[in-house]
Amino acid sequence: MTTAEAYARFATREVRGVSPAYERLSLAVSRDHELLTLLDGLPPAKRQPNLLFGVVRWLGGPVEDPAAFHDYAVANWPVIEAQMRVRATQTNEAGRCAVLLPVLAALPQPLALLEVGASAGLCLYPDRYAYRYGEHRVGSGEPVLDCAASGLVPPARVPQVVWRAGLDLNPLDVTDPDDVSWLDALIWPEHGHRRARLRAAAAVAAADPPLLVRGDLVDDLPALAARAPAGATLVVFHNSVLYQVPVPRRKAFVRLVRDLPGHWVANEAPEVLPYDGLPTPSGEGLHNVLALDGTPLAWTRGHGQAMTWFG
Ligand SMILES: C[S@@+](CC[C@H](N)C(=O)[O-])C[C@H]1O[C@@H](n2cnc3c(N)ncnc32)[C@H](O)[C@@H]1O
């Protein structure tokens, strides 16, 4: 896929209907030969819309008006490029716990949670947040995560978590203002509710930090999994991570995780982690597939805002 195609696809598949500013911007970049040439000077994995837009927001540049964005990006390209080379899209979305909850709550309790690609670890606290599935409320903490769920009976209670650990190439620290400002810059412009959610979830994590280990989800998973306490169900899980992992390493990860004791919960795009015989998702936009031990269970939306259980 060319860089122009990647930006056009981001506009129509990921942000249409969810971030008008980024839809405008990514369509404009997809037709902007000057910016496309600059982007193509970066390694392919560093040309992503979320990374470019996040860096410009982090630097205080304009993202609402495509013409102003173009002028700013061209004038400030050396600093933007340098930041794109050292930063990565590490969006940490606690809202994804709302789609994990039905699976986690149904497993034998208590749980030992191990998230690969954990970023700052905000998805390691599904037991501390509260949830609203329409009229059905679960849990009593903050933030309150809204999820439009269909085709399932929402769980009656949050899971019991006795151990939480995360593995990431570059773990972020919610007590470090620079890391938090980067997580904030990665949230799409209009999403004030997600910014409030980040602050509330970061406070939960800061009060009881998880074990976060710097490492690779293939090379370093067995050693971390071996640290899980006996007597708890080990659950290795991941949300929106494998698109950042080269295909041979994805396959190695799947082979490895299937051989570990416990359970494996995946929430990834079907292009990244394919399954046979998936139903057609209702509505447009990017959908992930929630799966338990390789069995697909539901379509989920990218930030955990909706899920449709398979019949
Ligand atoms: C888009 S973020 C998602 C963060 C989190 N899972 C969530 O849903 O909020 C992807 C994360 O995966 C991490 N990652 C990418 N490749 C990895 C690898 N090979 N091993 C461990 N972590 C990796 C990145 O550093 C990043 O923090």
Tens digits of residue pLDDT in 11-52: 998 899 889 999 999 999 999 999 999 999 999 999 999 999
**From 204, 238, 241, mutation site for ligand 1 pocket: most ligand atoms within 8 A of C-beta:** 241
State the distance from the centre of ligand 1 to the C-alpha of 21, rounded, in angstroms: 25
264: β partners: 236
Residue 77 banded pLDDT, cuts 50, 70, 90: very high
State the distance from the centre of ligand 1 to the C-alpha of 213, rounded, in angstroms: 12
How many Cα atoms occupy the beta-carbon half-sphere of 214 within 13 Å? 4
Helix (H) or strand (E) holding 136: strand 136-138
Q: Which residues neighbour 31 within 8 Å (Cβ) at sequence distance 6 or greater?
A: 4
* pLDDT for 282 beyond 80: no
With vertex at residue 171, the alpha carbon angle to CA 192 and CA 214, rounded to the nearest 5 degrees, is: 165
Atom of ligand 1 nearest to the CA of 172: 27
What's the CA gap between 118 and 93, in Å, rounded? 10
State the distance from the centre of ligand 1 to the C-alpha of 71, rounded, in angstroms: 31
What's the pTM?
0.94
pLDDT on residue 280: 87
State the distance from the centre of ligand 1 to the C-alpha of 59, rounded, in angstroms: 23
The residue contributing the CA closest to ligand 1 atom 11 is 117
Q: CB under 6 Å to ligand 1: residues?
A: 88-93, 96, 116-119, 123, 167-170, 216-217, 239-241, 244-245
pLDDT on residue 184: 97
Q: CB burial class (10 A; 0-12, 13-18, 19+) of residue 18?
A: middle
Backbone angles phi, psi at 201, to 5 degrees: -70, -35
SS3 per-residue string spanning 239-275: ECCHHHCCHHHHHHHHHHHHHCCCEEEEEECCCCCCC
